[in-house]
């Protein structure tokens, strides 16, 4: 393998229930994180016929921001802050859990009635230790607010951070890089080491070549430190580049909880169990408009 690539990660199939399958890339046993990215799922494309859809019941998070990005379809996001919004392709939903939040994700009513194709990415980015216990927040960034430009034949959209002189409106309290690309006619790119301390490229579809070696859809390539990487994207290839500064400490993950200290996760588990018993709590309130069910602690 090229010395410009420090690791190649193959996705593992996971069934999240109800036939909703994902390709899980991070965490990987030999690569727990890339910058603040601690979790990386690729779902779809999957076709839902009229009358069907997916339903992720209300569940909690701590210590992270969840980032949803779609290529096709729509998702209705509701959370315990009172947010109720539908995300569509090209936009970014950025939900910061901090001390604690509860949310659900479901097929919107019109798409459930008409049917839809779903395809997208769900990632988690760990909050720095100084912000793990911050109040929860939610931000929606429509597609037309995110910088988009052509770079050597590839159409780039900056989802978070700064790259190639463009800056995303997303605010995150740690150096981060997240950009999406599409190369309809192919492209030859240079990914400079200055983009981020830690960088990885994930191929959503198509093929890429690095130093004569071919890489396929579904693979994540963690790029070597300090290398300016030349990459050839074949026509029709799309994917994302993610990373940022190395995190301030390793992270523990249990279920939907991320923390730098196990005691924070243990307390969250206790608090969620109590919340489901009492019908909501100060830390984990109910989700307005979605109060009939929840996912219990495994």
Residue 16 has pLDDT above 70, yes or no: no
Rounded percentage of the chain residues whose pLDDT exceeds 70: 98
Asked whether the predicted pLDDT for residue 21 surpasses 90, the reply is no
Averaged over 134-140, what is the pLDDT?
98
Statement: residue 32 has pLDDT above 70 = yes
Residue 164, in any domain of the structure: yes
C-alpha to C-alpha distance for 101 and 99, rounded to whole angstroms: 7
Q: Mean pLDDT check: name the lowest of 5-19, 76-90, 193-207.
A: 5-19
Cβ pair 65, 135 in contact under 8 A: no
255 assigned to some structural domain: no
User: Is 132 part of a structural domain of the chain?
Assistant: yes
Q: Do you know the residue count of the chain?
A: 298
CA distance 172 to 101: 17
Question: Which residue range(s) make up the domain with 36?
Answer: 5-244
pLDDT surpassing 60 at residue 76: yes
SS3 assignment for the chain: CCCCEEEEECCEEEECCCCCEEEEEECECCECCECCEEEEEEEEEEEECCCCCCEEEEEEEECEEEEEEEEECCEEEEECCCCEEEECCCCEEEEECCCCEEEEEECCHHHHHHCEEEEEEEEEEECCHHHCCCCCEEEEECHHHCCEEEECCEEEEEEEEEECCEECCCCCCCCEEEEEEEECCCEEEEECHHHCCEEEEEEEECEEEECCEEEECCCEEEECCCCCEEEEECCCEEEEEEEECCCCCCCEEECCEEECCHHHHHHHHHHHHHHHHHCCCCCCCCECCECCCCCCCC
CATH number at residue 233: 2.60.120.10
Whole-number Å distance between alpha carbons of 195 and 240: 13
Q: Quickly state the pLDDT bin for 22 (edges 50, 70, 90).
A: confident
User: What's the total number of domains in the chain?
Assistant: 1
Average pLDDT, the chain: 95
Question: What's residue 2's pLDDT?
Answer: 81
Kindly state whether residue 251 falls inside one of the protein's structural domains. Answer: no
Percentage of residues of the chain with pLDDT beyond 90: 93
Q: Is the pLDDT of residue 12 over 60?
A: yes
Report if residue 179 sits inside a domain: yes
Q: Please report which confidence band the pLDDT of residue 20 belongs to, taking 50, 70 and 90 as the band edges.
A: low
- Give the list of residues 6+ apart from residue 176 with CB closer than 8 angstroms, or none: 35, 36, 125, 160, 161, 196, 243, 244, 245
What is residue 292's predicted lDDT score, i.e. its pLDDT?
86
Q: 131 pairs with which residues across the strands?
A: none
113 φ/ψ sector (left φ>0, alpha ψ -120 to 50, else beta): alpha
- In a domain? residue 69: yes
Position 269 in a domain: no
CA atoms lying within 13 Å on the CB side of residue 187: 19
- Residues 59 and 284 sit within 8 Å (Cβ to Cβ): no
Please state, in angstroms and rounded to a whole number, the distance separating the CA atoms of residues 232 and 210: 7
Q: CA geometry: angle at 256 spanning 253 and 262, to 5°?
A: 40
How do residues 162-210 score in pLDDT, each as one tens digit?
A: 999 999 999 999 999 999 999 999 999 999 999 999 999 999 999 999 9
CB contact at 8 A, 11 and 239: no
pLDDT tens, residue by residue, 211-261: 999 999 999 999 999 999 999 999 999 999 999 999 999 999 999 999 999
**In this structure, is residue 142 part of a structural domain?**
yes
Average pLDDT over residues 33-62: 95
Average pLDDT over residues 153-159: 97
pTM for the model: 0.96
pLDDT reported for residue 65: 98
For residue 15, name the pLDDT band (cuts at 50, 70, 90): confident
């Amino acid at each position: 393998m090229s010395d410009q690539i420090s690791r190649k990660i193959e996705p593992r199939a996971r069934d999240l229930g109800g036939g909703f399958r994902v390709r899980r890339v991070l965490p990987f046993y030999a690569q727990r994180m890339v910058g603040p990215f601690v979790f990386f799922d690729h779902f779809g494309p999957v076709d839902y016929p009229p009358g069907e859809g997916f339903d992720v019941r209300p569940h909690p998070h701590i210590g992270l921001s969840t980032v949803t990005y779609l290529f096709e379809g729509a998702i209705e996001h509701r959370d315990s802050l009172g947010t109720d919004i539908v995300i569509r392709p090209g936009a970014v939903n950025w939900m910061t859990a901090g001390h604690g939040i509860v949310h659900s994700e479901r097929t919107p009513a019109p798409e459930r009635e008409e049917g839809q194709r779903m395809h997208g990415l769900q990632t988690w980015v760990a909050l720095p230790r100084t912000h793990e216990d911050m109040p929860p927040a939610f931000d929606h960034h429509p597609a037309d607010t995110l910088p988009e430009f052509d770079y050597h034949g590839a159409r780039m959209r900056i989802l978070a951070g700064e790259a190639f002189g463009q800056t995303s409106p997303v605010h995150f309290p740690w150096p981060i890089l997240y950009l999406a690309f599409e190369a309809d006619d192919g492209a030859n790119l240079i990914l400079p080491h200055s983009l981020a301390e830690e960088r990885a490229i994930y191929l959503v579809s198509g093929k890429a070549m690095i130093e004569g070696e071919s890489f396929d859809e579904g693979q994540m390539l963690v790029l070597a430190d300090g290398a300016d990487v030349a990459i050839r994207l074949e026509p029709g290839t799309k994917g994302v580049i993610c990373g940022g500064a190395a995190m301030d400490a390793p992270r523990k993950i249990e279920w939907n909880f991320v923390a730098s200290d196990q005691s924070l996760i243990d307390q969250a588990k206790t608090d969620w169990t109590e919340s489901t018993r009492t019908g909501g709590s100060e830390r984990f309130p109910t989700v307005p408009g979605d109060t009939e069910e929840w996912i219990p602690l495994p």
